[in-house]
Amino acid sequence: MDTPNALTVEDVAERLHVSRSGIYALIKAGGIGFYKVGRKIRFTEAHVRDYIDGAAKTARTSRQPGQSALDDDRYFDLSLGRRVGDGFIICGQDLILDILSNFMRMHGVMALRAYIGSYDSLVSLYYGRVSVASAHLWNSEGDDYNVPYVRALLPGVRCAVVNVTYRMQGFYVAQGNPKNILTWRDFEREDITMINREKGAGSRVLLDENLKLIGLYGSRIRGYDNENQSHLAVASAVGRGDADVAVGMEKVARQVENVDFVPLKKERYDLVVKKEHVDTPEVATMLSILRSERFQNEFKSIGGYDITDIGKIVAET
């Protein structure tokens, strides 16, 4: 018998602003706790809070300074020996990639996930440790996303850059924005404490590029060295009052209590594959799924995703 406060899949999907399929993908990946009443899946409030606060699969704890995500045994083992036998590995931290992997498995491709940031993702692709990298890295010199970093981090490697979605990046602030944090120059204020993403994360690069433009060193910002590897974790820290501001994406702000969002930059979130692999059955299947009406319908009703160019090759290097 259901308990009075039991949450259904539909309830949790509505709270997290994702589709029902997204919740089932999280369950299959072990990303959210649940229990069963007969054959029905149910959740408690604690399950949802744990996911939001960082106990979920995508909400990893902070690394030690200088430690690479690829060295952390909490991450998928991306060593070459494992890589060959473990299948088709997609890097990135967005739920859209969890659902993509789930669709690919349903189409017979052993798609696996590595939850690492944009910079480490591209480096891993260069070394052949993964099949697909994801990136949302802004370059201030050309006001461009991803392509300059692909060229720099995969020198001499011909790549195809495939769009997945556009997302809004900005500030997580306390509800009501009591400190009136609105621009990058607010980081110059002495009354502001931030929480940061790890080095190489797209949000961290966006912050650092803008700090460079205004001539501000991160070392002068209180909390700059306090790092976490999850959008949800940094947003939750702001919601709890542990920090005044963090940089992240709009969709996550809707999932966390006591947090408002200040929009600043529309970013392009892309997948990167080596061109020599574009015609392989695995990549062809991935592109076919991205371009399919069935997959796109999963996200049309979810806020925070602009899938206008999903599956489109937006650049080649």
Q: Which tens digit of pLDDT belongs to each residue from 125-151?
A: 999 999 999 999 999 998 999 999 999
Whether 275 and 211 share a structural domain? no
Whether 213 and 251 share a structural domain? yes
In a domain, 118, yes or no: yes
Task: Find the domain containing 23 and state its range.
Answer: 9-55
Q: Which tens digit of pLDDT belongs to each residue from 236-245?
A: 999 999 999 9
pTM (2 decimals)? 0.73
Whether 79 and 160 share a structural domain? yes
- Under the banding of pLDDT at 50, 70 and 90, the label for residue 78 is very low
Whether 98 and 131 share a structural domain? yes
CATH value at residue 236: 3.40.190.10
Q: Which tens digit of pLDDT belongs to each residue from 110-131?
A: 888 888 889 999 999 999 999 9
Output the pLDDT for position 49.
76
**What is the tally of structural domains in the chain?**
3
In a domain, 63, yes or no: no
Whether 114 and 185 share a structural domain? no
Mean model confidence pLDDT for the chain: 84
In a domain, 61, yes or no: no
Whether 82 and 213 share a structural domain? no
Q: What are phi and psi of 172, to 5 degrees?
A: -85, 125
Which residue, 47, 58, 54, is CA-closest to 12?
47
In a domain, 247, yes or no: yes
Whether 187 and 256 share a structural domain? yes
